[in-house]
């Protein structure tokens, strides 16, 4: 930003008598500010010039103060003669100079803020403040028992500003607490103690409003002669609170009406809401009862494996619109129910992700029921992934469909190194937990239409549809990186 001084030049006038104006122009050549003399010099008033391209006031490009030749002279403190175009269309000569203390756009403008007596302020500013903030000012003269209101108080009571009304009549707009108001006024006049009181008002149009009354003593010397204050409309805030409470009641009733586990978190995994089934099952799995305001990472501090898995699941919910995964709430106990977890992310009005919601449905009976024996035939009992038999059937179907489509499918094969040594050291139960957690981690990165299977003890396979080789190699590298970062704790190791 630069500040220029522009003076009308006339050869028939003595030096120093020319009209001049001060103008601030940003680095893009747009006017940021012009003083009150702009209209007499340029023909435009200060408000018209805000955001106005400065080059539209010049006769040609050669007159541009940002042109190299002019810029060099101005930077040296010299005056440049330019031809300007008046708002009325005629041309005139002007002297252009750069304020030496504002030559660099990084230098802050000289400015100051001073306290202004309200008596010297434009009364229109008070009206604008009362309109935008929904308040009004009042004052009571104890000597004459006369009260003065600003327009804002009349507007809150839905009265015409010129209405003739007494303080006693004004009290009738209060639905309750009239004696309390009188007592506060008397105490303030006697002791000087300020007061604040929330009131329910009924306006002249029979509309209910919630307001807050502020009052304080106004002394003349040592004597309290007047009491003054403000009346602030709290009705919009009250309506917002009622709407929020109503929404919370609906949410609470909805989540109480279902046996599913319902929870909502913010981006830091702090619980925004959770229902009773979620709290009960969480306490059963981890030995601690969660509540609104608790952080899941802190609640699971003594369960590092589950904490990392849950963190990954919620992070995936933040990154995607929604997804579904099947697993127990905790991995260390195979007797816990199997849940179908549905995740849905939450966004605000600007589209920013603010959190996510989880709804978990118990599907244990569906899996264990005799009618669901096909599930056990097709799924690995340890990880819940597709088993070898189901995976081969899926591959055969994919190969058969190749005759009807031209897309490229890819097959990845994964063999875990050192798994047998780990199994010998830790035992099969611990290794089953490891495999379940690893399978859950891999499942987070796999699309639902792809096929992830456990073929044997330490081997897995992934069939990816519509995936050419370069993309498949990238997915394989990502999976290796994911497994490389995967951490499983066992006996402090």
Tokens coding 309:
């898995």
Mean pLDDT along residues 171-194: 88
Backbone angles phi, psi at 369, to 5 degrees: -65, 150
Q: Residue 218 half-sphere exposure, CB side, CA atoms within 13 Å?
A: 13
Q: Output the pLDDT for position 112.
A: 46
Name, of 60-74, 203-217, 386-400, the range with top average pLDDT. Answer: 203-217
Mean pLDDT along residues 58-67: 83
End-to-end CA distance of the chain: 61
**Whole-model pTM?**
0.47
pLDDT at 365 over 60: yes
Which of the four pLDDT bands, split at 50, 70 and 90, describes residue 105? very low
Q: Output the pLDDT for position 403.
A: 64
Q: Show the CA angle centred on residue 425, arms to residues 424 and 431, nearest 5°.
A: 75
Helices (H) and strands (E) in the chain, counts: 17, 18
Asked if 85 and 56 count as a contact pair (C-beta separation under 8 A), the reply is yes
Give the range among 179-183, 205-209, 313-317, 321-325 with minimum mean pLDDT.
321-325
Q: Output the pLDDT for position 11.
A: 67
For residues 167 and 163, give the distance between their C-alpha atoms in angstroms, rounded to a whole number: 12
Q: Output the pLDDT for position 183.
A: 92
pLDDT at 396 over 60: yes
Q: What percent of the chain has pLDDT over 90?
A: 16
Burial (CB count within 10 angstroms: exposed 0-12, middle 13-18, buried 19+), residue 203: middle
Residue 460: closest CA among 404, 410, 414, 396: 414
Q: Output the pLDDT for position 370.
A: 44
Give the range among 96-100, 282-286, 357-361, 474-478 with minimum mean pLDDT.
96-100
235-260 per-position pLDDT tens digit: 998 888 888 888 888 888 888 888 99
- Which domains occur in the chain, in start order? 2-102 (3.30.450), 120-237 (3.30.450.20), 259-366 (3.30.450.20), 378-485 (3.30.70.270)
Tokens coding 338:
């199997």
Which of the four pLDDT bands, split at 50, 70 and 90, describes residue 62? confident
- Who wins on pLDDT, 110 or 391? 391
Which helix (H) or strand (E) segment is 242 a member of? helix 235-256
292-302 per-position pLDDT tens digit: 999 999 999 88
- Strands (E) across 26-172 are located at 31-34, 80-85, 91-98, 135-141, 146-149
Pair type for strands 261-266 and 451-454: unpaired
Asked if 409 and 465 count as a contact pair (C-beta separation under 8 A), the reply is yes
Tokens coding 405:
């489509």
Asked if 334 and 328 count as a contact pair (C-beta separation under 8 A), the reply is yes
**Average pLDDT of every residue of the chain:** 82
259-282 CB burial, b ≥16 within 10 A, e <16: ebbbbbbeeebbbbbbbebbbebb
- Who wins on pLDDT, 107 or 126? 126
Cβ atoms within 10 Å, residue 464: 21
pLDDT at 418 over 90: no
For residues 365 and 115, give the distance between their C-alpha atoms in angstroms, rounded to a whole number: 74
Asked if 225 and 142 count as a contact pair (C-beta separation under 8 A), the reply is yes
Q: Output the pLDDT for position 113.
A: 46
Q: What percent of the chain has pLDDT over 70?
A: 89
Give the range among 44-58, 117-131, 227-241 with minimum mean pLDDT.
117-131
For residues 475 and 472, give the distance between their C-alpha atoms in angstroms, rounded to a whole number: 5
DSSP annotation of 109 reads P
Residues near 302 by beta carbon (within 8 Å), at least 6 away in sequence: 286
9-38 per-position pLDDT tens digit: 776 666 566 678 888 888 888 888 888 788
Pair type for strands 2-8 and 322-328: unpaired
pLDDT at 178 over 80: yes
- Who wins on pLDDT, 182 or 113? 182
């Amino acid at each position: 930003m630069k500040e220029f001084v522009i003076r009308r030049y006339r050869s028939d006038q003595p030096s120093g008598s020319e009209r001049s104006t001060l103008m601030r122009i940003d680095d893009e050549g747009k006017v940021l500010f012009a003083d009150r003399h702009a209209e007499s010099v340029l023909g435009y008033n200060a408000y018209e010039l805000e955001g106005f391209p400065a080059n539209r006031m010049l006769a040609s490009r050669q007159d541009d103060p940002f042109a190299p030749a002019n810029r060099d002279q101005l930077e040296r403190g010299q005056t440049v003669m330019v031809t300007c175009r008046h708002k009325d269309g005629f041309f005139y000569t002007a002297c252009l100079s750069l304020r030496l203390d504002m030559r660099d756009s990084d230098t802050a403008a000289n400015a100051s803020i001073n306290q202004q007596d309200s008596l010297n302020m434009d009364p229109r500013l008070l009206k604008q403040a009362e309109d935008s903030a929904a308040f009004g000012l009042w004052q009571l003269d104890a000597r004459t028992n006369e009260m003065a209101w600003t327009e804002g108080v009349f507007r809150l009571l839905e009265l015409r500003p010129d209405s003739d009304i007494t303080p006693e009549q004004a009290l009738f707009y209060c639905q309750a607490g009239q004696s309390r108001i009188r007592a506060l006024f008397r105490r303030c006049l006697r002791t000087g103690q300020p007061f604040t009181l929330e009131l329910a008002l009924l306006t002249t149009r029979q509309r209910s409003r919630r307001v807050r009354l502020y009052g304080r003593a106004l002394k003349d010397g040592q004597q309290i002669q007047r009491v003054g204050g403000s009346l602030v409309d709290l009705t919009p805030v009250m309506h917002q609170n009622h709407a929020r409470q109503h929404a919370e009641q609906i949410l609470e009733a909805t989540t109480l009406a279902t046996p599913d586990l319902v929870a909502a978190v913010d981006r830091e995994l702090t619980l925004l809401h959770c229902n009773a089934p979620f709290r009960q099952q969480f306490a059963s799995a981890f030995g601690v009862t969660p509540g609104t305001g608790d952080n899941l990472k802190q609640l699971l501090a003594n369960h590092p494996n589950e904490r990392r898995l849950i963190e990954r699941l919620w992070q995936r919910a933040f990154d995607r619109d929604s997804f579904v995964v099947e697993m127990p709430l905790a991995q260390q106990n195979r007797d816990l129910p199997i849940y179908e977890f549905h995740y849905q992310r939450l966004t605000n009005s600007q589209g920013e992700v603010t959190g996510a919601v989880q709804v978990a449905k118990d599907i244990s009976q569906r899996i264990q029921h005799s009618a669901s024996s096909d599930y056990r035939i097709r799924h690995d009992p340890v990880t819940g992934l597709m088993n070898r038999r189901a995976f081969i059937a899926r591959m055969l179907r994919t190969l058969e469909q190749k005759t009807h489509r031209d897309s490229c499918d890819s097959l990845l094969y994964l063999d875990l190194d050192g798994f047998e040594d780990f199994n010998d050291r830790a035992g099969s139960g611990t290794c089953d937990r490891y495999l379940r957690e690893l399978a859950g981690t891999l499942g987070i990165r796999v699309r639902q239409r792809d096929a992830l299977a456990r073929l044997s003890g330490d081997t897995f396979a992934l069939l990816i549809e519509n995936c050419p080789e370069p993309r498949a190699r990238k997915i394989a590298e990502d999976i290796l990186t994911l497994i490389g970062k995967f951490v499983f704790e066992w006996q402090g190791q």
